[in-house]
Every structure is written in structure tokens, then in C-alpha cells.
A = this chain, B = another copy of it.
Amino acid sequence: MTDRSYFTITELTAEFGITTRTLRFYEDEKLINPRRHGRKRLYTPRDRTRVKLILRGKRLGFSLAEIREIIEMYDHAPGENRQLQILMQRINERKAELEQKRRDIEETLKELADVESVALIRISELEKLKKDTGS
């Protein structure tokens, strides 16, 4: 199903759980640009991949502007040396950010695990109480 040549707007909204407004908004923002059949939009697999990247970026808390930057890095590695240096710098900045996010996630998961174990203990205490007082 994913290697079809075109998708309609509602197919994509259904697949990704978003609205048509959202896809048109991303188009306004130049994040995707679907072909047209008459006036109707036809999304290519490439557009679909872009949407995936956008949504992934959003899950990570990036703004659309930041997501645009990231996607642009994927698109064209420049030919000129100066530009390549700048690209390398951007890549390293994003890497650092992502690694920070990763640390944040690990910390949060650990804290949630702590809360969970406290809750589990309480639950088992309640079970015991129930048994002791006669189920």
C-alpha cells in the first residue's frame, strides 16, 4: 500500500490521523507540494514521506520552522565548501539537541518507573489488607 504512485488528501489524513486543514497548512508553509489533477491534490510517496518526517519532528517538539530546516538538510547537501561547513555545524547542533532530548527522556522514564513502583507497592498493600480482613 505504501508504494502507490499517488495518494489523495483524505487517504493521507486517514493514515496519519490529521485533518485536511493540516495538510493544506503544511503546503502553504512549503513543507510539501503535491501535484494537481485539475484542482485536486495528488500526493506522491515523497510527499507522504515528508509528512512522516514532519509529524516525527512535531512529536519531538520541533517547530515547523525547525522541521523545515532539518528536512532541507536531507534534501540538498551543497556542493560548495563554505556551505558544507555550515551544514556540518547545523548537523552537530541538531545532534546535540537530540542527545539532550534523549537524556531528558531517560530521566523522565526513570522517574515514572519510581512512581510506578510506589504505586505497585500501595496496590499490593491494599490487596493484603483486603485478604487479611477477609475477602
- Report the copy number of this chain in the oligomer: 2
CB of A35 within 8 A of chain B? no
Count how many chain A residues have C-beta atoms less than 8 Å from C-beta atoms of the other chain: 40
**Are A102 and B102 also in contact (CB < 8 A) when A74-B115, A77-B119, A84-B119 are?**
yes
Residues from 86 to 120 in A contacting B, C-beta threshold 8 Å: 87-88, 91, 94-95, 98-102, 104-105, 107-109, 111-112, 115-116, 118-120
Instruction: A59 to B73: give the CA distance in the assembly, Å.
Output: 22
Q: Closest residue to A107 on the B side, CB-wise?
A: B56
B108-A105 in contact (CB<8A)? no
What is A's interface to B at a CB cutoff of 8 Å?
56-62, 70, 73-74, 77, 79, 81, 84-85, 87-88, 91, 94-95, 98-102, 104-105, 107-109, 111-112, 115-116, 118-120, 122-123, 126
